[in-house]
Amino acid sequence: MQRLVSHRGWILAGLVLAMFLSAIEATVVATALPTIIREVGGEERYGWVNIAYLLASTISIPLYGKLADRHGRGPLLQLGLFLFVAGSVICGLAPGLDLLVLGRVVQGAGAGAIQPVTMTIVGDLWAMHERGKVQGVIGVVWGASGAIGPLLGGLIASTIGWRWIFWMNLPFALAAMAIVAVAYREPARVRSTVPLDRAGVTLAAVGAFALLLAIEQVLPLPLAITAVLAFGALWWVEQRALDPVMPPDMLRSPRLGTGLVMLGIIGAMLMGILTWLPLRLMAGGGGVAAGAALSPLLVGWPIAATASPSLMLRFGRRSLLRVGAVVLALAAVSLAGFVGTAAPLILLAPIMMAMGVGFGIISTTTVVDAQATVARERRGVVTALGAFARSLGGALGVAALGALRGFPGPEVAQGMFWVFIGMAGLGMAAVLVAAGYEADLEVNGER
């Protein structure tokens, strides 16, 4: 264990590189798609370049979380990075849209490992009072990468060519693989004799796959019914599984289950902001102004995340989570007011700062508490559940908020007013969910 601790700085560098790649690849292609389609064709399947990545990354998260507990974190992170590299090469060489979509599937399958395994390693190597600072770093990298992705994608596509969106991944991914291989060591793991929960893995993947396609308006009604049936069957199967991929006790827990709902809400709100707020801002101030307006959010997040562990110890996790939810709700209500008026852009800065503070408190408190609640051999599963909830929440949030764009509102809002009213509603929901959160007990020697 001492060797693990001595290399934590290098390990963190590798984890940050990995998370940067996973996050930026989810958004960087969007603004380059018109250029890509003009070159490779396939306009009728325009959206599949992005959908393929989202599907593969989301449906694979629960499997990777379980495998990380059974076979170790290092091998799974290396597998994820390897798949990410392979997918990037396929995309960079793709002569047509079919191979490009395949490459995005492979990339997404790699990203599905990177997200949960990275945060699980943080939970293994850093004590609870240290995790806020580390998770703040990783959280801001994740948020900033998603925010700059569209600007960077459009810039690359219009200058050196869209294929460099994928080629630029290689040095970062290879560096992360090398750092993790050299710096990260973990204790020997006793091989489990309990078979993998294949039925649970399959049903979780089918349910998420059908739900995400329904959100994308691909056979929405049949696939929505499929998702409901798959998740219903998953609940039944997991009650009887010896080693469930989605443990029912975690989902039922007022502590862990409530935390997962909170992560789903902030996933919906964050992706809603990154998707819809720039469209409103670019109508008035251009892309630079839109990017600058998001910056305070990325400042408030790490500040709150860093302070959260000590505040947890002083005031309790339940109280801190409720404060975070109230801050987030007030910021969301203020943001809806800003969008619906002709207020100067400078007034957006404190709103975004408060939003970042709310995100930082909630994400850190829920993840730290979840990891402290379970034994080390279940930490991969509970972390993966959090990443799964945030990813599904993000997809559902973007679609649900986007559906509100057609409602009439103030002309200055550029059709976005009701989108942000919906986001204010999500903030209020976070307050209600936080009211039912239970924590503050000592678990596994951590408080």
Q: What is the mean pLDDT of each run of 10 residues along the chain (447 residues)?
A: 60 90 80 79 71 85 87 90 94 89 91 89 81 74 72 82 90 92 79 79 89 81 91 91 85 84 92 77 55 74 80 84 95 90 82 92 86 82 89 85 75 74 94 79 43
Assess contact for 111 and 145: CB atoms under 8 A: no
H-type alpha helices, 126-168: 128-158, 164-167
CATH number for 246-447 (one of 1.20.1250.20, 3.30.930.10, 1.10.1740.10, 3.30.1330.120): it is 1.20.1250.20
Q: Is the dihedral of CA 116, 122, 123, 128 positive or negative?
A: negative
Assess contact for 121 and 77: CB atoms under 8 A: yes
User: In angstroms, rounded to a whole number, what is the distance separating the alpha carbons of residues 365 and 306?
Assistant: 11
What ranges do the domains of the chain cover? 1-190, 198-241, 246-447
Q: What is the pLDDT of residue 176?
A: 93
Q: What is the pLDDT of residue 87?
A: 94
What would be the CATH architecture of the domain defined by 1-190?
Answer: Up-down Bundle (1.20)
User: In angstroms, rounded to a whole number, what is the distance separating the alpha carbons of residues 290 and 279?
Assistant: 8
User: Tokens representing 280?
Assistant: 């409103």
Assess contact for 116 and 246: CB atoms under 8 A: no
Q: What is the pLDDT of residue 147?
A: 66
192 contact partners, CB below 8 Å, separation of at least 6: 70, 243
User: In angstroms, rounded to a whole number, what is the distance separating the alpha carbons of residues 383 and 399?
Assistant: 25
Do 1-190 and 246-447 fold alike per CATH?
Answer: yes
Q: What is the pLDDT of residue 446?
A: 45
User: In angstroms, rounded to a whole number, what is the distance separating the alpha carbons of residues 29 and 153?
Assistant: 6
